[in-house]
Structures are given as C-alpha cells and as structure tokens.
Amino acid sequence: MKRFRPLLAGAIMCAVLACTFGEQGALIGATPSAQFSLTPGPIVLPTPLSAEITSQLEAEDEVLANIYQRASPAVVYIEVMARETDAGALLSSGSGFVIDSKGHIVTNAHVIEQADYLEVSFFDGEVVEARVVGQDPYSDLAVIQVDVPGERLLPLELGDSDTLRVGQRVIAIGNPFGLEGTMTVGIISALGRSLPSRLLESEGYFSNPEIIQTDAAINPGNSGGPLLDIHGRVIGVSTAIRSTTGVNTGVGFAVPVNTLKRVVPHLIEEGTYHYPYLGITSDTRFTLAELAEPLGLPVTQGVLISSVQPNTGAARAGLRGGDHEVEVRGVAVRAGGDIIIAINGYRLHSFDDLVAYLVRETRVGQEVVLTIIRNGEVMEVPVVLGER
C-alpha cells in the first residue's frame, strides 16, 4: 500500500508557491491565515471515452488478433544444429512459414546456409527434423521440407507485392531472439529498395531488387518469417535490418512475395534458380544525373557501362565499357562507355531498374533489345542473355 509522505508533499507545495522559512520556522511570503493540509485530496479520474470513440480502435485490435490467430500456426521456429562436430550445438536460428500441404517451408537462405541438421518447431510445440530442398543466395530465399501429415499443416495465402503502397499497414510474425510466435506491426516505409546479395566476393557483386522497407520491428531471429497484409496474406519474407547496434532501429527489409512466387517453384523442382546475366558492370556510387555534367553525358537517366565482362552476351553483342577515368568528387569514375537508356522499350532510370527488369521479365537464353547512346548516337543492340 502506498503511503503519503507529508514532508515531501510540503516541500513540493512550498516550491510551487515559492515560499521560504525564517529562522524560527515562520512562513515567509504567505499571509498569517494561510492554511496547509497534509491530507491528500480525492483522486479524480477522467471520464471513460464513449464507445463511439473506442469502437474503431477495438475493430483494429480485432483485425490484428484475428490475423495472428490465423497466421501463427503456419509460422515455424528453425534451429540449425551441428551434427558431427560439437554435436547438438546451435549454429543459428530463424523463422519460416508453411506454403503447402507437402511440408514445404520458406525461409531465408542465410538462415540455413550452414545447415548440417535442421529442427523445426511448430506453434503447438511439436519438433521435427527438416531437410534442405533448395536455396538461392541471390534472392536470399530457401525451401526446407518436413515429413508431417498434410492435414496438420496450415499453409499461408500468398498475396501480390506489385499492388503494395507506401503507408500500408503490415504485420511481421517470427521468432526474434528465439522468442517464438512474436508479432509486430508497422507500415511499408518504402518500396523498390535494393540490397546486396549474400555472396562471396569471388562470385562478384549482385543486388536483390524490389525489396520492401518496413518499420515493423524485425530483429535477429525474424529472418525468414512472413510479412503480412491486413488480410493475412504473405506480401514479403523478412530478411534483414539496417542497424548500427545489431537490433531494430525502424528500418527493416523483406523480399517481395512475387520474387518468392518466381523463385520457390524452381527451388522445389531443381534446388536452384537460374538468373539471366547481361555481363556488364556500372558504377553505382553516383547517379547518372550526378555524372552528366562532369562527364559531359547527353542524358541524366540510364546506365553508364563501366566495363563489359568477357565471354558474355554483352561482349558478344559489342557493347562497350569505359576507356578512361575522370575524377568526380575525388573519386575515379570510368567514363566513355555506352549508356543504356532502355531494355525492350522499357525506360531505365538507374542500374537498379535494369537489374529489376532482368530478374522480373527475362530468362536465360532470351534475346533482349537494348537502346543505347554511343558517341551521342542512339542505337538499338540485340543481346542474348547468359546465366550468372
């Protein structure tokens, strides 16, 4: 039980009235008739809000609670264990979600990349062994499979990430820091972000395009879990955060569900995904608008080719990379190369646009037509795409 403290209350009251005491304890700065009560007055609570005001919030709470009840049974906790050396040691952990009644579970490639032995924990506490079906480090997606009766599996519905809008509310469910079945809520903060793929340096640099940015709390352990819309449909796969501390700072990223729809069937069938490859590099430290003046470029949007890789479609088509260097803001930039301004008539604003189009719209062995500018002249060049 809390007790009232007279001395403290008196001190506070004097401080408020700016009063002081003289040598004999007489009150200075107040009239002789001033009376002070050390007994607390009645506590007055605010009037409860009307149902009209709270009903909308209650409806929102009901939507979120319903999504969790429907979606959480499909979300699993994945533990990557060491089988032979340090038997039983936990190497890493993450999240995943069921996508069909055959036991296929989607997660991140980086969650299971060291897997010797996988254990999957379901919402009801059942723990089963899983095997890796396929993985793709470029998109950071992987598929694992468990041997569980189909009637016990509750797959999530897949949405359409092409219809997403910034500001739309989203829900993440996963296992941050091993805390199973955690739900967080936020909005889509941005669309069309690009993240570097998790590859060895010897394999080159590739970016994962069209990434969803969200402020929904995503932390270590959320990786591989679903990002949902308010209908409970999967719109993305939580994959990364941007942080200087290793924990959430309001900037999280998810692979869009339409990338999942394109990649996962191939992972199930072949264990891998085949990416088309043009065979060029471009300096992404600057936009073309920033390079236009110092390099004397005729356009401010497009892709300036820095180099062309040998034995690629770009090389065979005769595309040209830079032939000299120009210093821009203290940085050496390769200049003089072709500028790609469109692919198959699709106007390009940046290198990310080119990567996104290749990944989304083309396949290995397909011929595409590049619109380029070379020495001030606009040209169309057909290129047969290779494979990464």
Active-site residue, 139 included: no
Active-site residue, 140 included: yes
Task: Specify the CATH superfamily of domain 276-387.
Answer: PDZ domain (2.30.42.10)
For the segment 32-72, what is each residue's pLDDT rounded down to a tens digit? Answer: 455 556 777 788 888 888 888 888 889 999 999 999 999 99
pLDDT at 90: 77
pLDDT at 243: 67
As a dihedral over the C-alpha atoms of residue 333, residue 336, residue 338, residue 339, rounded to 10 degrees, the angle is 60
For the segment 99-121, what is each residue's pLDDT rounded down to a tens digit? Answer: 999 999 999 999 998 888 899 99
With pLDDT > 90 as the criterion, what percentage of the chain qualifies? 71
Six token digits for residue 242: 């941007």
pLDDT at 44: 85
Is residue 189 a contact partner of residue 168, using CB atoms and an 8 Å limit? no
Mean pLDDT of 211-232: 95
Name the catalytic one among 136, 139, 140, 161: 140
Name the catalytic one among 223, 238, 282, 306: 223
Question: Residue 145: pLDDT band by 50, 70, 90 thresholds?
Answer: very high
Residues written for the chain: 388
CATH number of this structure's domain 161-268, picked from the four choices 3.40.50.720, 3.10.150.10, 2.40.10.10, 3.40.50.300: 2.40.10.10
For the segment 149-203, what is each residue's pLDDT rounded down to a tens digit? Answer: 999 999 999 999 999 999 999 999 999 998 999 999 999 999 999 887 755 444 5
pLDDT at 248: 73
For the segment 121-134, what is each residue's pLDDT rounded down to a tens digit? Answer: 999 999 999 999 99
List the domain boundaries for the chain.
1-39, 74-152, 161-268, 276-387
Give bridge partners of residue 280 from the DSSP assignment.
Answer: 308
164-198 in b/e burial notation, b at 16+ Cβ within 10 A?
Answer: beeeebbbbbbbbeeebbbbbbbebbebebbbebb
With pLDDT > 70 as the criterion, what percentage of the chain qualifies? 86
For the segment 304-327, what is each residue's pLDDT rounded down to a tens digit? Answer: 999 999 999 999 999 999 999 999
Is residue 290 a contact partner of residue 297, using CB atoms and an 8 Å limit? no
Listed range (33-37, 244-248, 266-270, 338-342) with the worst mean pLDDT:
33-37
pLDDT at 11: 42
pLDDT at 35: 58
Topology of domain 74-152, CATH: Thrombin, subunit H (2.40.10)
* Average pLDDT of the chain, as a whole number: 87
Name the catalytic one among 110, 139, 229, 338: 110
| pLDDT of 353 over the 50 cut | yes
| pLDDT of 351 over the 50 cut | yes
pLDDT at 98: 98
Q: How far apart are CA 386 and CA 388, in angstroms?
A: 7
DSSP state of 245: S
pLDDT at 84: 63
One fold for 74-152 and 276-387:
no
Question: Residue 81: pLDDT band by 50, 70, 90 thresholds?
Answer: confident
Active-site residue, 37 included: no
The amino acid that residue 144 corresponds to is: I
Question: Residue 6: pLDDT band by 50, 70, 90 thresholds?
Answer: very low
| pLDDT of 208 over the 80 cut | yes
As a dihedral over the C-alpha atoms of residue 239, residue 190, residue 343, residue 141, rounded to 10 degrees, the angle is 10
